[in-house]
Amino acid sequence: MSNFDLTKYLAEGRLLKEDMSPQDVVDIADTVAEEFTKESADRGDFMVYSVGKMDADDMFFELDTDTTSQTPERILKMSDLGVGEGWGGNFSIKSKEEGYEVRNSEKGGLVAIIDNQGSFRMISNDEAKAEMGIDEGNKIK
């Protein structure tokens, strides 16, 4: 994670159960947006994710999406993949004993984990589905 340093956060005497500062929430939201943009490029979608609305006190953020000159026509025509404000999803950051987790507020899926050592890790789509109890056929186990 480029901006958020959990090790420094802990060294400053903060506890994980405390609320994060607004800047920490911004940094995490920026990192999730960057990672989604990279994943989109890897898939060949070339959508750009950016942080939209945010409530740092409630540790909530929304991602917006935009197209690029490389975004394929098939993506532009998909009705379930919108472009604009809020189309990147709504997310919440929750404090857990082992660190923090970022979850998709609408679907409940785990998106990222920040452990007690300050390591940020995005969760793959397959891992998120498994954690939610969804099998490969998108059926709930």
**CA-wise closest residue to 61 among 32, 34, 83:** 32
Each residue of 4-62: pLDDT tens digit? 666 666 556 554 445 578 888 899 999 999 999 999 899 888 889 999 999 988 899 99
The confidence score (pLDDT) of residue 20 equals: 73
Cα–chain center distance at 30: 9
Per-chain mean pLDDT for the chain: 81
Q: Is the pLDDT of residue 107 over 70?
A: yes
CA distance 47 to 95: 29
The confidence score (pLDDT) of residue 17 equals: 43
**CA-wise closest residue to 28 among 84, 102, 88, 105:** 102
- Residue found under tokens 């990672």: 35
Contact 40, 46 (CB under 8 A): yes
Q: What is the mean pLDDT of residues 97-114?
A: 90
- When pLDDT is cut at 50, 70 and 90, the band that residue 122 belongs to is very high
The confidence score (pLDDT) of residue 83 equals: 76
The confidence score (pLDDT) of residue 125 equals: 76
Q: What is the mean pLDDT of residues 90-111?
A: 90
Q: What is the mean pLDDT of residues 68-77?
A: 81
The confidence score (pLDDT) of residue 4 equals: 65
Contact 56, 25 (CB under 8 A): yes
Q: Is the pLDDT of residue 90 over 90?
A: yes
**End-to-end alpha carbon distance in the chain:** 33
CA-based radius of gyration for the chain: 16
